[in-house]
Amino acid sequence: MRIVLLGPPGSGKGTQATMLVEQMGLPHISTGALLRNAAKRGTDLGLQAKAITDKGELVPDDIMSDMIEERLSRDDVANGFILDGYPRNLAQARSLDAMLERLNIPADEAIHIDIDPDELIRRIAKRAKEEGRTDDAVETVRNRMRVYAEQTAPVVDYYAERGLLTLVLGDGSKDEISQRILSVLNTQAATA
């Protein structure tokens, strides 16, 4: 299965992707994690990207597209993948579609984790304490939310128009949400 996971910052997208990966044995492709690793290694690209992510802005599309193409060209995606953090705007969504067509691995399913904005703020505040991510500072989070509403929310409609989207409620425990996602994927697999 080739799955695109969508959801606002703090929706638990990364956590759910990690749980799905364990259950389904698919590679987890997280652009946020790829960028944080590059920053930790101190590469030019990583440091450049960190300055942008720390403001809550999006890293330029051409950088992201090269990064994702390199990752999707590896052999381990043959049986599927879980994409987390990409696409984040309509240009990325179109470029991903074209890339996946070219590689002959079109997306099967997009899942949007839908959640109440107040709950998001609470979760991110907690994560900031626990993980110390520099992009979880209050001002940055506010900007990430704005960027999400303006640029990423239209991507949800994009997948809906293609008939690939399922909404999953993001409230409740990690396990409850994970069960909801798995049941969507099972239904999907049964009807495919």
- Distance of alpha carbon 104 from alpha carbon 7, whole angstroms: 26
Which region among 30-38, 103-111, 156-164, 181-189 touches ligand ADP (by CB under 6 A)? 30-38
Task: Calculate ∠ Cα 92-46-85, nearest 5°.
Answer: 35
Task: Figure out which of the listed residues 2, 13, 71, 112 binds ligand ADP, where binding follows CB under 6 A.
Answer: 13
Q: Is 58 a residue that touches ligand ADP (CB under 6 A)?
A: yes
Q: Is 32 a residue that touches ligand ADP (CB under 6 A)?
A: yes
Distance of closest approach, residue 132 Cβ to ligand ADP, in angstroms: 14
Task: Figure out which of the listed residues 18, 31, 95, 178 binds ligand ADP, where binding follows CB under 6 A.
Answer: 31
Q: Which two tokens stand for residue 91?
A: 């240009």
Q: How far is CA 27 from the centre of its chain?
A: 13
DSSP 3-state of 26: coil
- Distance of alpha carbon 29 from alpha carbon 64, whole angstroms: 12
Residues 136-175 binding ligand ADP (CB under 6 A) are 144
Which residues are designated catalytic? Answer: 13, 88, 127, 133, 144
